[in-house]
Homo-oligomer: A and B are copies of this chain.
Amino acid sequence: MRIGELAAAAGISRDTIRFYERVGLLDGRRLPNGYRDFPPETVDWLAYVRTARRLGFTLAEIAVHGSGLRDADDSAAALSALIEDKLRLIDERMADLAELRTDLAARVGADCPLRPDPRSGGVSGSPGAAGWPSRHRRE
């Protein structure tokens, strides 16, 4: 499929697709006339890329994952290892998100206002009262 069709199917601009090709996220196969030609699975790959992006993974991280898949494409074991690695990353993100969620949820309905920087009005009994989300360990 050509770039316009892919763009429509993936809900992404042509420019972005060309950009993704430049940075190695997509392959550069061409038709005899110079037009780009993508296999249909590219739509799925792009969906994956967009989701990963929205979740805070950088294009570089995604590209590494992608090129890892390419380089390992004759070894199912290496591939699985790669994917499991990615899975671990995702699980970490989910754990962090869950932590954030718990912190926030614990405050719903609480009557103690937890302002990050009290500047409006007097500071009403704040000492030690409102700690924000639990501090974030390691990194």
Contacts and interface: CB of A to CB of B under 8 A. Distances in A.
Given A101-B87, A113-B79, A94 B96 contact: no
Contacts of A67: 133, 136
A31 interface: no
B83 A121 contact: no
Contacts of A73: 113-115, 118, 120-121, 130
Given A24-B138, A114-B73, A48 B87 contact: no
Please indicate which of the listed interface residues A40, A84, A112, A130 has the most CB atoms of chain B within 10 Å of its own CB: A40
Nearest to A129: B39
A93 interface: yes
B123 A45 contact: no
A124 B73 CA distance: 11
B47 A120 contact: yes
Given A39-B126, A44-B131, A87-B104, A54 B113 contact: no
Interface of A: 21-22, 24-29, 38-45, 47-48, 50-52, 54-56, 66-67, 69-71, 73-74, 76, 79-80, 83-84, 86-87, 90-91, 93-94, 96-101, 103-105, 107-121, 123-124, 126, 129-139
